């Protein structure tokens, strides 16, 4: 019998779910329903503003859906009858399904700040028309303020700065940017780099109000300071889009993330959920966490798509792994920071080492690349890593990610077999991940 499978959402999670489903169910009738006519690459959105300059160059092509024989419907699902296994769309379409995957993504958080509704105040929406409006406003602007120094806020700041004709100021509530994602050393390194590149960073400041008549003119801080702004971009985070799930009676958590089990099934066993809209468990504590990363979303989609009519894959937990870069400084984070581990009550040993990223260091283009590894104090288990350096960092953090996923201890990492090359990596004597682990072993021995 031909099965009907419906996927709701057309971002990386929805697309990956559709492709994976097709691989395992070659004869199924697979339909992807999404609201957007065109789909922006979510992580690429900041780069529209300085590097690629038009949203058209940051689209996910529908070719991949066509090639996989996925039916595409541009519409919005407004109700689901779980017992009848049918759904209704905003345009009045009725579809039945045997299995469904929700990949409805996330919403940008909007702070409850006076003036937040003024013209030229934007959040980061995955919407091409909305992005065009931001671009138009930036074209006419002189002073731009980014509120929120997480990695999206920083990427926007750097990209706006690349436009060349803007004064870019970033306001962050906490004592440092990125402080929820990285330990302080990396935060400071990134702030320094962005400052050198011309972004004015104001950490430890709270926005009190956005001021203006029709359009924004100033951002007022709690200390009374008023900063000129023609455009304000709010990058303070995202929340799961569990609206539809909640409305149709699926279990959601306190943040409206759709609750899923280790197989990506919701409280209705015919409905799966993946990506930013679904609940995630911390790999270390097992508690609920929020991770808004396309890469993790895609992994979840690969689990769900294989499990629809029988369990093949299990994803017990999620590890936050991400990277970004500002000019020639790239950074990456995987798993727990030292600070977050301590917040969880975990005793840790952390080690930082750095080395030239080529060898000898006399090779042109050599720069310093450093690794910080965080281990459980008494077991030596690797629970997190942070890294900075050149663009190799984007893949190097995935080595650390692999080690965390494999529950490696410091003593095992010491004898990791790796390849090194003068033009591409640190020297074999100074390979950062291994050397950090060796130092940790000595510390762990001291603590046992």
Residues between 10 and 39 that touch a second copy (CB under 8 A): 12, 15-16, 19-20, 23
Residue 408: left if φ>0, alpha if ψ -120 to 50, beta else—which one?
Answer: beta
Report if residue 109 touches a second copy, rule: CB under 8 A: no
> What residues contact 402, with CB distance under 8 A and at least 6 apart?
none
Report if residue 370 touches a second copy, rule: CB under 8 A: no
CB of 47 to a second copy, least distance (A): 5
Span 376-415, contacts to a second copy by CB under 8 A: 390-399, 401-403, 405-406, 411, 414-415
Query: Which residue's CB is nearer to a second copy, number 229 or number 294?
Result: 294
CB of 441 to a second copy, least distance (A): 8
Residue 277 CB coordination number (10 Å): 29
CB of 378 to a second copy, least distance (A): 18
Report if residue 330 touches a second copy, rule: CB under 8 A: yes
Q: How far apart are CA 228 and CA 221, in angstroms?
A: 11
On the CB side of 346, how many CA atoms lie within 13 Å of its CA?
A: 23
Among 293, 336, 353, 371, binds a second copy (CB under 8 A): 293
Query: Which residue's CB is nearer to a second copy, number 42 or number 203?
Result: 42
CB of 250 to a second copy, least distance (A): 23
Among 217, 270, 288, 438, binds a second copy (CB under 8 A): 438
Tokens in use for 198? 């011309």
At 330, phi and psi to the nearest 5?
A: -105, 150
CB of 158 to a second copy, least distance (A): 10
Report if residue 171 touches a second copy, rule: CB under 8 A: no
Among 297, 336, 381, 382, binds a second copy (CB under 8 A): 297
Q: Which stretch binds a second copy (CB under 8 A): 121-129, 217-225, 246-254, 361-369?
A: 361-369
Report if residue 135 touches a second copy, rule: CB under 8 A: no
CB of 183 to a second copy, least distance (A): 17
Q: Which stretch binds a second copy (CB under 8 A): 102-110, 169-177, 251-259, 324-332?
A: 324-332
At 137, phi and psi to the nearest 5?
A: -65, -40
**In the 3-class helix/strand/coil scheme, how is 211-245 assigned residue by residue?**
EECCEEEEEEECCCCEEECCEEEECCCEEECCHHH
Among 104, 279, 324, 337, binds a second copy (CB under 8 A): 324
Among 70, 181, 321, 351, binds a second copy (CB under 8 A): 321
At 241, phi and psi to the nearest 5?
A: -90, 90
> In whole angstroms, how large is the CA radius of gyration of the chain?
23
Report if residue 421 touches a second copy, rule: CB under 8 A: yes
At residue 149's C-alpha, the angle toward residues 146 and 153, to 5°, is 55
Q: Which stretch binds a second copy (CB under 8 A): 54-62, 88-96, 135-143, 249-257?
A: 54-62
Report if residue 180 touches a second copy, rule: CB under 8 A: no
> Per DSSP, what are the bridge partners of residue 335?
384
- Pseudo-torsion of CA 421, 422, 424, 430, nearest 10°? 80
CB of 159 to a second copy, least distance (A): 11
At 264, phi and psi to the nearest 5?
A: 75, 20
**Coil, strand or helix: which one is 298?**
helix
Report if residue 144 touches a second copy, rule: CB under 8 A: no
> Per DSSP, what are the bridge partners of residue 54?
none
Indicate the burial class of 162 (C-beta count within 10 angstroms; 0-12, 13-18, 19 or more): middle
Among 216, 434, 436, 444, binds a second copy (CB under 8 A): 434
Residues in the chain, total: 448
Among 236, 325, 382, 436, binds a second copy (CB under 8 A): 325
CB of 301 to a second copy, least distance (A): 9
């Amino acid at each position: 019998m031909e099965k009907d499978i419906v996927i709701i959402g057309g971002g990386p999670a929805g697309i990956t779910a559709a492709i994976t489903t097709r691989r395992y169910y070659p004869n199924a009738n697979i339909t992807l329903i999404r609201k957007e006519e065109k789909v922006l690459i979510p992580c690429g959105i900041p780069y529209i503003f300085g590097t690629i300059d038009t949203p058209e160059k940051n689209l996910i092509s529908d070719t991949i859906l066509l090639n996989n024989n996925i039916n595409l419907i541009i519409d919005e699902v407004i109700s689901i009858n779980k017992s009848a296994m049918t759904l209704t769309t905003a345009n009045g379409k009725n579809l039945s399904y045997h299995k469904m995957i929700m990949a409805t993504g996330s919403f940008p958080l909007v702070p409850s700040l006076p003036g937040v509704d003024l013209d030229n105040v934007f959040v980061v929406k995955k919407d091409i028309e909305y992005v065009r409006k931001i671009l138009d406003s930036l074209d006419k602007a002189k002073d731009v303020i980014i509120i929120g120094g997480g990695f999206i806020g920083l990427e926007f700041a750097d990209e706006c700065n690349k436009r060349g004709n803007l004064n870019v100021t970033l306001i962050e509530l906490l004592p440092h940017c990125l402080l929820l994602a990285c330990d302080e050393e990396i935060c400071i390194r990134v702030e320094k780099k962005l400052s050198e590149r011309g972004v004015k960073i104001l950490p430890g400041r709270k926005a009190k109000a956005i001021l203006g008549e029709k359009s924004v003119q100033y951002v007022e801080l709690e200390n009374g300071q008023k900063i000129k702004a023609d455009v304000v971009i709010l990058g303070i985070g995202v929340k799961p889009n569990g609206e539809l799930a909640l409305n149709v009676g699926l279990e959601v958590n306190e943040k409206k993330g759709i609750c899923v089990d280790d197989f990506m099934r919701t409280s209705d066993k015919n409905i799966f959920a993946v990506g930013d809209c679904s609940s995630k468990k911390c790999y270390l504590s097992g508690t609920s966490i929020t991770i808004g990363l396309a890469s993790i979303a895609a992994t979840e989609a690969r689990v769900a798509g294989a499990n629809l009519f029988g369990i093949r894959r299990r994803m017990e937990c999620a590890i936050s792994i991400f990277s970004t870069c500002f000019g020639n400084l790239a950074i990456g984070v995987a798993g727990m920071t030292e600070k977050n581990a301590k917040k969880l009550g975990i005793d840790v040993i952390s080690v930082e080492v750095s080395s030239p990223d080529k060898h000898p260091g006399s090779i042109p283009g050599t720069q310093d690349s450093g690794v910080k590894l965080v281990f459980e104090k008494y077991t030596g288990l690797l629970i997190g890593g942070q890294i900075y350096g050149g663009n190799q960092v984007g893949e190097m953090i995935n080595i650390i990610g692999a080690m965390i996923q494999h529950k490696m201890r410091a003593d095992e990492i010491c004898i990791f077999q790796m390849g090194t090359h003068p033009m591409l990596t640190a020297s074999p004597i100074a390979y950062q991940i291994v050397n950090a682990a060796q130092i940790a072993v000595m510390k762990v021995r001291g603590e046992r």
